Structure 1
Amino acid sequence: MLNVFLAGAFISGAAWLRNARAGAGYSLETAGGRLPEQDRKAFRKALRQVRMESRQVILDGQQARQEAADLLQQPVVNTAALSAALERARNADLTVRTRLEQAIVDFAANTSPQNRSLLATALLHHVQRQAAGAPKKSP
């Protein structure tokens, strides 16, 4: 019985790693790795700057998730506090994502058509990958 469990865990882990690698580079942010070296450095520098400027927002989101985890471990769940903590985490995530996406927009507005094509291809692959993984609705 233990051998079956270990074999299943091994196979699951291998499949997870394979799928994680297959999806690499299919978001706008990771698409920057496909840009020519000089442009890639500028792209990454812009994103790094956003993260540095958003450090407090990121920390606030992490703190809110920690608070939510603590609330979930209480004998009686305070749903209002849990909802508020999750909302703060979600808002922090959205703020950082919005800032990162604006940096990508700014980069795209000032780069070559070839670079924009690389970013567009990565975005399309991301959309196709999400559509392929989406659960099918039954009638």
Structure 2
Amino acid sequence: MSARNLVILSVALNVFLAGALAGGAVWVRSGKSGPGYSLESAGGQLPAQDRKAFRQALREVRRDAHQVILDGQQARREAADLLQQPVLDTAALSAALERARNADVTVRTRLEQRIVEFAAASSVQARNLLAEGLVRRADRQSANAAKKSP
């Protein structure tokens, strides 16, 4: 391998590593490194066996809702395309956003229903862990809302 090729390879590797470090720093500073604050992420606090069953149940819901998820993504792409048109078709934009919102609500409803079913079959301790996840989420949302208030 020639010296020129080694320099090019070294520069490419350094650029990649610098990008990875910068991306990691942004990720950590944005608070994505800590635990989640939702009912779904609270499942990560469950004991190993329950956690595995919980995650499997949620994966099944997502697999079953795959087409709904794809429909929501397509609706968002359509909305983005409409926003980029020289003349805005507000009716079409509203319809695309409504389809995306309906898909999101459908998936969320299915996930939450499956969580309810999981909780109904769980121990009191497991339900307490899920409840703590809801409380953390509510507390975090309240704190974020207070920071954004003028």
- Equivalent of residue 107 in structure 2, options 68, 75, 96: 96
Distance 1:15 1:56 in 2: 32
Query: 2:50 aligned with 1:39, yes or no?
Result: yes
**Aligned-residue RMSD, C-alpha:** 2.0
Deviations 1:20-66 (A, max 9, x none): 223x3211111111111111111011100100110110000000000
Paired residues in the alignment total: 128
Q: Which of 66, 76, 84 pairs up with 1:55?
A: 66
The corresponding residue for 2:17 is none
Q: How far apart in 2 are the matches of 1:84 and 1:100?
A: 24
Q: What corresponds to 2:32 in structure 1?
A: 20
Task: Name 1:29's counterpart in structure 2.
Answer: 40
3-state DSSP class of the match of 2:78? helix
Identity %: 68
Structure 1 residues without counterparts, runs of 5 or longer: 1-9
Runs of 4+ in 1 over 2 A off after TM superposition: 13-18, 135-138
CA distance in 2, matches of 1:66, 1:76: 17
SS class of match (1:111): coil
Residue in structure 2 matched with residue 69 of structure 1 by the alignment: 80
TM-score (norm 1): 0.84
Q: State how far apart, in whole Å, the 1-side matches of 2:53 and 2:33 are.
A: 25
Q: What secondary structure sits across from 1:25 in the alignment?
A: coil
TM-score, normalization by structure 2: 0.78
Q: Give the number of the structure whose alpha-carbon radius of gyration is greater.
A: 2
User: Secondary structure, in 3 states, of the residue corresponding to 2:33?
Assistant: helix
